Each structure stands twice: as structure tokens, then as C-alpha cells.
Amino acid sequence: MRDTVLREDGERTFLLVFDPGDRIMETLTGFARDQGITAGRVMGIGAIRQAELGFFHHDRRDYEHWNEGHRDGRSAASGTRTAAFR
């Protein structure tokens, strides 16, 4: 993964470019930890080979996961999410 700072005026904005084969959440979480980031907004666009998405059910206090298999091994993706890192 490569990174650069796009803006630093009270809020920091980074551009991250992931390499083929990078595990996105592990790499992103490691980057956040190294930068001292505990919460932020994540926006992304790109192509992925495989993804597992999930969301937290507040009433059940549990995550529901969704894993979409791709027949050809490629998929385009984009999204915006608020994230908290531990």
C-alpha cells in the first residue's frame, strides 16, 4: 500500500492506494494504528476479488456478515463508511 497526505488543516485527509493482494481491512487498520487514527470516514473506489461485508445489529448486539462469491473473481466496488478503529 502507498499513502500520501492530501490535506492537513485540522482534519487529515489521506489517499491510500492498495496493491493487488492486499487485505484491505488488515492494511487499513494497521495504517490507522500507525497514524494514531481512532475514528474517521472511509471512502473507496476500485476493484476487488472477494469481499465480506457486515453490519452491527444493535438490538442483537451481534454482527451479520454477507459474503458474495464472484464467478469471474473480479468486481467493481465503491462506498463511503464511518469507521472506528481499535
In angstroms, the CA 45 to CA 48 distance is: 10
Q: For 28-66, give the secondary structure using H, E and C.
A: HHHHHHHHCCCEEEEEEEEEECCEEEEEEECCCCEEEEE
pTM of this prediction exceeds 0.85: no
Query: For 40-51, what is each residue's pLDDT tens digit?
Result: 888 888 887 777
Instruction: Give CA angle at 72 (24, 53), nearest 5°.
Output: 35
Q: Given this model, what pLDDT does residue 7 score? A: 94
Q: Is 90 exceeded by the pLDDT of residue 82?
A: no
Helix (H) or strand (E) holding 77: strand 75-84
Query: For 12-60, what is each residue's pLDDT tens digit?
Result: 999 999 998 898 889 999 999 999 999 888 888 888 777 777 777 888 8
